[in-house]
A and B are shown apart, each in its own frame.
Chain A
Amino acid sequence: MRIVVCAKQVVDLAQIRMNRETREPILSGIPLIIGDIEKNVLEEATRIKEQHKAEVIALSIGWPQPDGTILECLGRGADRAVMLADPIFETLSSTGVATVLAKAIEKIGDYALILLGEGSTDNNSGQVGPMVAQILGLPLVSYARQLEIVEDKVRIVKGLEDCFETAEASLPVVVTVSAEINEPRIPTILDVMEASSKPQESWSLGDIEISREELEQHHSVKVLSNQYPEQTRKNILFQEELGKSVDSLLQNLVKEGVLER
């Protein structure tokens, strides 16, 4: 059984700082990591592999930058990795991403299970998984919080707003998982070392027979602005002795409407 895991690279949100003048996030120099939900997806694939005979292939589209995300996927149990890198992906809409993934999955071929996160850590559109299923003409089960392979079917417990739903579908199938599905284990250093000797392939647009023009149609995302809300500070310094300063501070807070008398 072949499992394809789609893993997205995201910038490490914990390391982002804001430019105070432009109010935009400073993205340069921030490393790319795999998102948290991808860790759940890889854990689930690895868990299945431990119970059934399976090969796990990590598929990632990103932009060319030497990074450790592919290695991390391999360290987290993928047997091999396929990387598609092109600057064009940076501004692709969800349909564009789904188109590229679907093409790559077709090229990988012979798939039984395609696993994705329910939404990515950064954009969280939640659209890519369903679109991949649509393009490939496969059944989709989304928001999986429990997954089991029973012969040639998957049995899945889905988390809905106010209830759980159990669904069954025949392989091949696309499944999007939610964070509740498992607790991703931390790879050992040996896993990390082994990762670098596992096969990695890098594909270009030509390899998946997709033209730049075709992708340009999906360049629908135009970022108009990406700024945090303006904050103004009054910067008032109360320099009298402590008791008086506290009084002045209180008076000012009341005046500003922060406190009520």
Chain B
Amino acid sequence: MTKVTSIVVGAGLAGLSAAYSLARDSIDVLVVERGDYPGAKNITGGRMYFLPIRSLFPELWDEAPWERHIVREVLTGVSKCSSLSIEFSNQKYNNKPYHSFTILGSRFNKWFAQKVAEKGARVINKYKVDDLILDNGKVKGIVVGGAQIEADVVIAADGTMSQIAEKAGLRGKREPQDFALGVKEVIALSPQTIEGRFRLKADEGIAQLFVGSLTKGMLGAGFLYTNRDCISLGLVLGIKDLTDCHLNVMPYELLEEFKLRPEIVPLINGGESVEYSAHVLSESGIKGMPKLFGDGILVAGDAAGMAMNMGLTVRGMEFAIASGALAAEAVRMAKKQNDFSAGALSKYQDLLKESFVWKDLNTFRHAPDVLANPRLFGEYPQLACTMMEKLMTVGEEPKKKLSTTISKELRSRLALSLLRDSFRFWRM
């Protein structure tokens, strides 16, 4: 039977990072990806925070296909016919090393896989890993379309729904509220058009988040990221709300409505849709993590639930890259002792706990509960818009004093819950 030292299932950021690290240490590694090419199935919103991962592969980042570095953040609350935006820009975001970048999975992962192959790893596309070779609960390799390949260790980097972690018995039952659904469209526009419409210089980009009536009160948000020659536009929606919802709306319908909003139309006008995708995200943070190691197996990236909605940001990419690299480090240590048992591989968890991955996920462990609050996605954006409308509009009647307008709005609506929710958000 064919045997290799290590197998990585999935050529997403987690898998590629693991494979790159292994190959760099001259450890025999086979990457199996079911997509036509690495990147074909990797859906992301699009923003990666650079500083946490900068030191991992310094030799790579200068030539990485970053789209644009983010220089402006916009948070927009929307109601049915109005919207209120808060814009934050920071001169520092224009200094190197850049704080965050937009990326496109289809470009970034393709490039990353090439680097992985150049380091000597074998990357095989278009094959799906169907099963694990198990011997008394110990993982001994993989099964692909009936063919078996043995390995000392398998790294499951197969994304949110990880069947590999499940087959290895590392993951328990999960609930709808642990997941969100992302739907996303990539709209092509020339770089000049993008720079003109968003007031950007070459290479600069913006990140914009939308909350409010666009999700019809469901947990979720809209996002817009500028790439080099296209815009990523999408929605993330809580699956529990989507399935419970009496509204009975389809995610793609919401995306269509989002695209028709007057805030969006002029931004995407004339653009061509070049990608349409949907993908599940893990929303439960550290509480939803599976067991991260077993005999002959490690779990990294989304497969290990290492993605999270932290209120104003969705994060997963840096966690995927860092956990992949740490999994590889654990394999390197295990190989030295030639011991791939759960005991030896548990080093992975120790390494993770010392890293930003665990620390961030732990700090934000309450975020899912705080965010599972319909007021954040319905009443508050509505309130903000109504208040602005009253403040800004001059009608036929004499205008009331500002303090009267504000206090009336606040008294009439939700004052106590707003205070309470603000406090919870603050503590998150």
The residue in chain A whose Cβ has the minimal distance to the Cβ of B274 is A17
The residue in chain B whose Cβ has the minimal distance to the Cβ of A31 is B37
From known contacts A188-B146, A188-B147, infer whether A193 and B272 are also in contact, taking CB-CB under 8 Å.
Answer: no
Residue from B37, B147, B149 whose CB has the most chain A CB atoms within 10 Å: B147
Chain B residues whose CB sits within 8 angstroms of the CB of A189 once the complex forms: 32, 124, 127, 144-145, 147, 149
Interface string of B120-160 (1 = CB under 8 A from A): 00101001000000000000000011110100000000000
Is B122's CB under 8 angstroms from A196's CB? yes
The residue in chain B whose Cβ has the minimal distance to the Cβ of A33 is B36
Give min CB distance, B268 to chain A, whole Å.
Answer: 15
- A190 on interface, CB distance cutoff 8 Å: yes
Chain B residues whose CB sits within 8 angstroms of the CB of A31 once the complex forms: 37
The residue in chain A whose Cβ has the minimal distance to the Cβ of B37 is A31
The residue in chain A whose Cβ has the minimal distance to the Cβ of B107 is A29
**What is the bound-complex CA distance between A17 and B2, given in angstroms?**
40
Chain B residues whose CB sits within 8 angstroms of the CB of A190 once the complex forms: 2, 147, 149
- A10 on interface, CB distance cutoff 8 Å: no
Give min CB distance, A69 to chain B, whole Å.
Answer: 13
- B116 on interface, CB distance cutoff 8 Å: no
Q: Which of B144, B145, B272 contacts A20 (CB 8 A)?
A: B272
- B209 on interface, CB distance cutoff 8 Å: no
**What is the bound-complex CA distance between A20 and B190, given in angstroms?**
12
Residues of chain B touching chain A, judged by Cβ–Cβ distance below 8 Å, are 2, 30, 32, 37, 122, 124, 127, 144-147, 149, 272, 274
Give min CB distance, A112 to chain B, whole Å.
Answer: 32
Chain B residues whose CB sits within 8 angstroms of the CB of A193 once the complex forms: 2, 30, 122, 124, 149
**What is the bound-complex CA distance between A186 and B32, given in angstroms?**
16
The residue in chain B whose Cβ has the minimal distance to the Cβ of A190 is B147
Nearest 8 pairs of A and B residues by beta carbon: A189-B144, A188-B147, A190-B147, A189-B127, A189-B147, A192-B124, A190-B2, A188-B145
The residue in chain B whose Cβ has the minimal distance to the Cβ of A186 is B145
10 more A-B residue pairs beyond the given contacts A193-B122, A193-B149, with a C-beta to C-beta distance below 8 A: A186-B145, A188-B144, A189-B32, A189-B145, A189-B147, A189-B149, A190-B147, A190-B149, A192-B124, A193-B30
Interface magnitude class on chain A: 10 to 19
Give min CB distance, B75 to chain A, whole Å.
Answer: 31
Chain B residues whose CB sits within 8 angstroms of the CB of A186 once the complex forms: 145
**Which A175-228 residues have a C-beta within 8 angstroms of B?**
186, 188-190, 192-193, 196
**What is the bound-complex CA distance between A17 and B272, given in angstroms?**
11
The residue in chain A whose Cβ has the minimal distance to the Cβ of B142 is A189
Give min CB distance, A141 to chain B, whole Å.
Answer: 33
Task: List 26 A–B pairs whose Cβ atoms lie within 8 Å, in order of A's numbering.
Answer: A17-B274, A20-B272, A31-B37, A186-B145, A188-B144, A188-B145, A188-B146, A188-B147, A189-B32, A189-B124, A189-B127, A189-B144, A189-B145, A189-B147, A189-B149, A190-B2, A190-B147, A190-B149, A192-B124, A192-B127, A193-B2, A193-B30, A193-B122, A193-B124, A193-B149, A196-B122
The residue in chain A whose Cβ has the minimal distance to the Cβ of B190 is A21
**What is the bound-complex CA distance between A184 and B124, given in angstroms?**
20
**What is the bound-complex CA distance between A31 and B36, given in angstroms?**
10
Chain A residues whose CB sits within 8 angstroms of the CB of B145 once the complex forms: 186, 188-189
Chain B residues whose CB sits within 8 angstroms of the CB of A188 once the complex forms: 144-147
Chain A residues whose CB sits within 8 angstroms of the CB of B144 once the complex forms: 188-189
**Which A6-41 residues have a C-beta within 8 angstroms of B?**
17, 20, 31
**What is the bound-complex CA distance between A161 and B30, given in angstroms?**
48
**Which A146-193 residues have a C-beta within 8 angstroms of B?**
186, 188-190, 192-193
Give min CB distance, A237 to chain B, whole Å.
Answer: 12
Chain B residues whose CB sits within 8 angstroms of the CB of A196 once the complex forms: 122
**What is the bound-complex CA distance between A188 and B143, given in angstroms?**
11
**What is the bound-complex CA distance between A189 and B37, given in angstroms?**
15
The residue in chain B whose Cβ has the minimal distance to the Cβ of A20 is B272
**What is the bound-complex CA distance between A20 and B146, given in angstroms?**
44
Give min CB distance, B382 to chain A, whole Å.
Answer: 27
Chain A residues whose CB sits within 8 angstroms of the CB of B32 once the complex forms: 189
Chain A residues whose CB sits within 8 angstroms of the CB of B272 once the complex forms: 20
Give min CB distance, B30 to chain A, whole Å.
Answer: 7
Give min CB distance, A26 to chain B, whole Å.
Answer: 10
The residue in chain B whose Cβ has the minimal distance to the Cβ of A66 is B114
Chain B residues whose CB sits within 8 angstroms of the CB of A17 once the complex forms: 274
**What is the bound-complex CA distance between A193 and B32, given in angstroms?**
11
**What is the bound-complex CA distance between A190 and B144, given in angstroms?**
9
**What is the bound-complex CA distance between A17 and B124, given in angstroms?**
25
Chain A residues whose CB sits within 8 angstroms of the CB of B127 once the complex forms: 189, 192
**What is the bound-complex CA distance between A31 and B145, given in angstroms?**
25
Chain B residues whose CB sits within 8 angstroms of the CB of A192 once the complex forms: 124, 127
**What is the bound-complex CA distance between A196 and B30, given in angstroms?**
12
**What is the bound-complex CA distance between A164 and B238, given in angstroms?**
61
**What is the bound-complex CA distance between A186 and B2, given in angstroms?**
19
**What is the bound-complex CA distance between A31 and B110, given in angstroms?**
11
Chain A residues whose CB sits within 8 angstroms of the CB of B122 once the complex forms: 193, 196
**What is the bound-complex CA distance between A186 and B128, given in angstroms?**
13
Chain A residues whose CB sits within 8 angstroms of the CB of B124 once the complex forms: 189, 192-193
Interface string of A119-132 (1 = CB under 8 A from B): 00000000000000
Give min CB distance, A153 to chain B, whole Å.
Answer: 37
The residue in chain A whose Cβ has the minimal distance to the Cβ of B30 is A193
